[in-house]
Structure 1
Amino acid sequence: MERKDDNNDIIRKARQKAKQEKEEKESLTKENPDENKLENNINIENTDEENNEQLENKVEENNNEEDEDFNNKEYVNSEDLQIIKEEIIKDDEHTKKDVKKKKKTYIKIGCFLLLITVMYFGAKRYDSLVYPNITLYEEDVSKLNEQQLNEKVSDLANNINNNKIIIKLDDKDYEILLSNIIDKLDVVKVENEIMSYGKDKTFLEQFGLIYLGVKRNYNFNINLNNEALEKEVNKIYDDTHLSPIEPTLEMNGDKLNIIEGKNGKSINDKNLENKIIEKINSNEVGKSNIIIKEEYEQIKPKIDNKDLEGVDYKISSATTYYGGTGYNRGLNISNAARKIDKTLLMPGQEFSYEDKVSPVDLSNGYYMAPVIINGTHKNAPGGGVCQVSTTLYNTQLKAGILPTERYNHSKSVAYVQRGLDATLATGSKNLRFKNPYDYPIYIHAYAVGGQITVEFWSNKSVLDGKKYTPVSFVKGNVANTYLYGYNNKGELIYKKYIDTSIYK
């Protein structure tokens, strides 16, 4: 029924179009009368009968055309039929295209709804499972339920506590049990994070994490006992540390020989601690024992052998006598002399007599002997050590070296002039001086036959041709001490006030 109405509408439009073309043609004829007149003039040569006959036929023909009913449904010329066919074909094509387009739309909508359904249920099935591509210490825990994950986490935590750190050195291996340095493994937090991963997102996001997500690895939060770790590393350090041997000088008759030093070795304890922490926080700790290869670091001596090559000349010496002052006192003097002997004082380095001979007690090789305390002689451990410091002081002055700290006795002593002695009281009075020269100073001290001698060895150039002599000017119980320097002609070229000593 609809197609018939459509055809009628097409026919109606075709008729209207034909009528419109007819009217336009008649209008053109009326607008050009001269052309009609010219045509009549041309035909005037014909006979009147012919003209009348043609005119009547033409009028009759025009009248017939005007009487045609364009509304008659049976009137359709060939052009109208062609137009009708074309319009019908076009209409059919449009109809087919619309149907195909609608089918495609319905198919797309159906596929989309199917995809959404698949994605929804695909994400829903993991509500109580661990998402795919999840690992714990690189061990796959995907698709585990809560109980299975709990068992896996517990097993892994136990393995970590039972694992060891093995430190491999060139000559020895050391082991540290992880449970000894780990305070806590926060397994509950990690377990919750693994199980809840992705569960708070939309099902579209969840689907992406499940089927398109990249690998995600978890490790435990490990709280280390830093104090325990440091203690374990210190044990290894103490057991392996080898201090370097400094080169030194040794007297051979009247000549000094160089005794070469040796390198020491040690581990870098701080570096080892950092390596252990790094390994514990890595994936390795969850697999097996941790192996750390550690190498020794060479420790060079502070003094180079070449620094000692120029020490070949005795620049000063002093001797005092102690014979007849008591056997124990002589033993104490010999003991103190041995403690300062072979001392190598590098340029700019300060010497402390107290540091060398202390503690002055029975446990350090000293004996009971007379000492001066507040002007009175009393027996005490180490009686006689002040004679060694006094002899050392005079050797120091003769080398042109001033003291940085020095005290006189409260009472004058018999073995040197007033103003040239140097006492020691542990913790309060000391003898100290610095090496002012560019060469090392080697101290050689020895006690033989009731006399104590101290020698300073260095390079001859340090004296710069001078000979130093300490001088003390005594007046009553007061002594003012100076240091004089003479050139090779015996001329005084240097004079320096040292200090004033007051005695009881």
Structure 2
Amino acid sequence: MRKYRTIKIIIVAAALLFFAGEIAYFVWARPVIAADVEAFRQMAYPNKAVNGVDVSGMTVEEISEVIEAVKQEYLKKQITLHLGNGRTYSFTMADFLPSFEQSGIAAARIVGADKELPYILQYLMLKGVYQATPVYINLRGDYDRESVEPLAERIAGECFQEKCPPQFSVENDQICLVSGKDGYSIDAGEIADALLSALEESAGTDSINIELAGTADPLSQKERMLETINTCISEFTTEYKAKSAKATNVENASAKIDNLILYPGESLSVDKAIQERTRANGYVYAPQFDNGRVVEGMGGGICQVCTTLYGSLLRAGIIPIERHPHSMVVTYVPIGLDAAIAKGYKDLVFENTLDYPICITAKAGGGKVTFKLWSNENALEGYRYEPASVRISSKRSESYLKKYLGEELVDTVRLSRDSYR
């Protein structure tokens, strides 16, 4: 019985102590707790920050000022767009017209956090015994695609470059070169997507760098080769009777070849280049050779154009694929160094065997026709070429091409063995 009596005494004593504690809480502690909690009613509890700035203990007004200051710094943040064409564009966040939650509303949300909890828990938060709910605001703007797209379209338009091959010509023995340009384009939608993505992930970043490649359309190696032409590598001149029907044909055919460009490995048929000999193509009747006779023919005299070009080719070390002599000996070049042309069975065909492109210029007038080959200064690799012929008889000859390095003859190639009537 004593045992049960002792237990009852203990239970009663504990109950009395509990009620005494409650009475003490309501009489003394609760007012103190309430006073401390109420003192923080208009202030933020611990664990509250805006973009890393601790705002614990601040009022709505003070936090609003912090938010505004953070917002201004945010709007100054740099965005740099690097494009594949080497161009760079720099902006600030303000350029994209972001919208933000009102500072007062955001501040009130921070201050209001944890205020719905029981006073005792709020009190324990103030004393650091109970952890306050973390509220960390990373301020960043909201962006509308409509505010980004016009800028993206402007950039895409400014960066578009159509591929422009080099433009080359020779005028009055002066090289005229307009350098080529690589093509480039970038899609405005790609720019807008990249900007929006970066803007939406921008909180806490000091600066933003965006790299976009775009689409390059570079000039080919062949197109670039035109820019290597920088000098005349050979020339040859013959004379004819000015102010004659032949002169008309010589000058007309020469003009059709003037400023013609051949890249390495490309071939040219002179017969095709000077077009069919008709009045519509600018030709007239003039004396010409026909099986050992002199007759009037449409385009008569154009063989002198072919011969003069042949002389210029040989002096550049280019030996034609196809070449034919006249039926009779001509007077404007040594025997065996002529080149005849006749529709369907005689042509001068050659390939550019150099490592560089060549530009053929032709100038005819005043009784002289001159052909020049223009190419790179290293095209002949330091060699000099001289054609020569040997008359075997009054109507037969052998022709050669001699190759020199300085004054030293390093090679001789037989070009042809010709017979005339």
TM-score normalised to structure 1 length:
0.42
Question: Quick one: which amino acid aligns to residue 402 of structure 2?
Answer: Y
Larger helix share, 1 or 2 = 1
1:256 and 2:172 are equivalent in the alignment: no
1:427 aligns with 344
Question: Quick one: which amino acid aligns to residue 361 of structure 2?
Answer: H
Q: How many angstroms apart in 2 are the aligned matches of 1:356 and 1:468?
A: 25
1:387 counterpart (286, 290, 304): 304
Deviations 1:194-223 (A, max 9, x none): xxxxxxxxxxxxxxxxxxxxxxxxxxxxxx
1:460 and 2:377 are equivalent in the alignment: yes
Q: How many angstroms apart in 1 are the aligned matches of 2:219 and 2:273?
A: 21
Q: Classify 1:380/1:261 alpha carbon distance in 2 versus 1 (closer, same or farther; 3 Å).
A: farther
Q: How many angstroms apart in 2 are the aligned matches of 1:381 and 1:263?
A: 46
1:323 and 2:237 are equivalent in the alignment: no
Question: Quick one: which amino acid aligns to residue 328 of structure 1?
Answer: A
1:311 and 2:229 are equivalent in the alignment: yes
2:264 aligns with 347
CA displacement at 1:252 relative to structure 2: 3.9
Q: How many angstroms apart in 1 are the aligned matches of 2:299 and 2:165?
A: 30
Structure of larger gyration radius: 1
1:445 and 2:362 are equivalent in the alignment: yes
Q: How many angstroms apart in 2 are the aligned matches of 1:245 and 1:385?
A: 36
Q: Classify 1:386/1:261 alpha carbon distance in 2 versus 1 (closer, same or farther; 3 Å).
A: farther
Q: Secondary structure at the match of 2:398?
A: strand
1:116 aligns with none
Q: Classify 1:345/1:327 alpha carbon distance in 2 versus 1 (closer, same or farther; 3 Å).
A: same
CA displacement at 1:302 relative to structure 2: 7.4
TM-score normalised to structure 2 length:
0.51
Residue 397 of structure 2 contacts residue 417 of structure 2 at CA under 8 Å; is this kept in 1? yes
1:211 aligns with none
Q: Classify 1:305/1:420 alpha carbon distance in 2 versus 1 (closer, same or farther; 3 Å).
A: same
Deviations 1:124-167 (A, max 9, x none): xxxxxxxxxxxxxxxxxxxxxxxxxxxxxxxxxxxxxxxxxxxx
Question: Quick one: which amino acid aligns to residue 287 of structure 2?
Answer: P
Q: How many angstroms apart in 1 are the aligned matches of 2:255 and 2:221?
A: 22
1:496 counterpart (410, 413, 419): 413
% identical equivalent positions:
38
**Runs of at least 5 residues in structure 2 that lack an aligned partner in the other structure:** 1-162, 184-215
Deviations 1:401-432 (A, max 9, x none): 11100000000111111100000011111001
1:482 counterpart (369, 377, 400): 400
Q: Secondary structure at the match of 1:439?
A: coil
Residue 351 of structure 1 contacts residue 432 of structure 1 at CA under 8 Å; is this kept in 2? yes
Residue 260 of structure 1 contacts residue 305 of structure 1 at CA under 8 Å; is this kept in 2? no
Asked which structure has the greater RCO (Cα within 8 Å, sep 6+), the reply is 2
1:129 aligns with none
1:55 aligns with none
Matches within 5 A, 1:64-213: none
Question: Quick one: which amino acid aligns to residue 350 of structure 1?
Answer: S
Question: Quick one: which amino acid aligns to residue 255 of structure 1?
Answer: Q
Question: Quick one: which amino acid aligns to residue 385 of structure 1?
Answer: I
Question: Quick one: which amino acid aligns to residue 249 of structure 1?
Answer: F
Question: Quick one: which amino acid aligns to residue 404 of structure 2?
Answer: Y
Q: Classify 1:299/1:424 alpha carbon distance in 2 versus 1 (closer, same or farther; 3 Å).
A: farther
CA displacement at 1:247 relative to structure 2: 4.0
CA displacement at 1:380 relative to structure 2: 1.0
Q: How many angstroms apart in 1 are the aligned matches of 2:164 and 2:278?
A: 28
Q: Classify 1:411/1:246 alpha carbon distance in 2 versus 1 (closer, same or farther; 3 Å).
A: farther
Q: Classify 1:367/1:491 alpha carbon distance in 2 versus 1 (closer, same or farther; 3 Å).
A: same
Q: How many angstroms apart in 2 are the aligned matches of 1:362 and 1:372?
A: 20
Q: How many angstroms apart in 1 are the aligned matches of 2:267 and 2:281?
A: 23
Q: Classify 1:469/1:299 alpha carbon distance in 2 versus 1 (closer, same or farther; 3 Å).
A: same
Question: Quick one: which amino acid aligns to residue 234 of structure 2?
Answer: S
1:396 aligns with 313
Q: How many angstroms apart in 1 are the aligned matches of 2:391 and 2:416?
A: 12
2:53 aligns with none
1:417 and 2:329 are equivalent in the alignment: no
CA displacement at 1:312 relative to structure 2: 0.6
Deviations 1:478-502 (A, max 9, x none): 11011001111x1101110111111
CA displacement at 1:260 relative to structure 2: 5.5
CA displacement at 1:259 relative to structure 2: 3.9
1:333 aligns with 250
Matched pairs, number:
226
Question: Quick one: which amino acid aligns to residue 312 of structure 1?
Answer: N
Q: How many angstroms apart in 1 are the aligned matches of 2:330 and 2:383?
A: 29
Question: Quick one: which amino acid aligns to residue 403 of structure 1?
Answer: P
Q: Classify 1:372/1:252 alpha carbon distance in 2 versus 1 (closer, same or farther; 3 Å).
A: closer
Question: Quick one: which amino acid aligns to residue 367 of structure 2?
Answer: G
